[in-house]
């Protein structure tokens, strides 16, 4: 393993973008397996190849920049997905509303009848049924 450590010295390694590319190529390979389209497999191998080229790259600054760009796209999607999952998990005990003026998502306990809600963000008051 010592030769590998020496080899990787000064090289970029793996990051979130590599992980994403790895998963994407695996998904493509599975699709290629089931559909029988060879082209899909070639694209998957190409992505895999780029993943390793990035990992062994010595231009750390540029690879970091690519990863940052990837995260700027991924993070909002991830947080939206997590809040969606959270909403489903809490849908039995809570109801969700959007503030009519600032559009912030608000959570109200279920089964309280008509209630007055005050938005914690912009202090707008509105009536809601829970």
The nearer residue to Zn ion, 46 or 122, going by C-beta atoms, is: 122
Residues in the chain: 130
- The residue within the footprint of Zn ion, chosen from 21, 28, 40, 99 (CB under 5 A), is 99
| Rounded-to-integer distance, Cα 44 and Cα 24, Å | 8
HSE-CB at 86 with a 13 A cutoff on CA atoms is 10
CB 101 within 8 A of CB 122: yes
Residue 118 sits in the site that holds Zn ion (CB under 5 A): no
DSSP character at residue 112: -
The correct pick among 8, 42, 75, 121 for binding Zn ion (CB under 5 A) is 121
Interface with Zn ion, residue 119, by CB under 5 A: yes
Does residue 65 interact with Zn ion by CB under 5 A?
no
Instruction: List interacting residues with Zn ion (CB under 5 A).
Output: 99, 102, 104, 119, 121-122, 124
């Amino acid at each position: 393993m010592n030769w590998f450590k020496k080899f990787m010295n000064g090289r970029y390694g793996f990051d979130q973008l590599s992980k994403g590319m790895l998963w994407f190529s695996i998904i493509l390979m599975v699709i290629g397996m089931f559909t029988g389209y060879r082209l899909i497999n070639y694209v998957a191998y190409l992505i895999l190849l780029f993943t390793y080229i990035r990992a062994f790259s010595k231009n750390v600054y540029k690879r970091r920049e690519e990863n940052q760009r990837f995260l700027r796209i991924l993070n909002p999607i991830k947080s939206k997905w997590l809040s969606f999952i959270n909403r489903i998990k809490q849908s039995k005990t809570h109801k969700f509303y959007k503030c009519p003026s600032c559009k912030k998502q608000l959570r109200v306990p279920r089964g309280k009848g008509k209630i007055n809600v005050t938005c914690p963000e912009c202090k707008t008051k509105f009536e809601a049924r829970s």
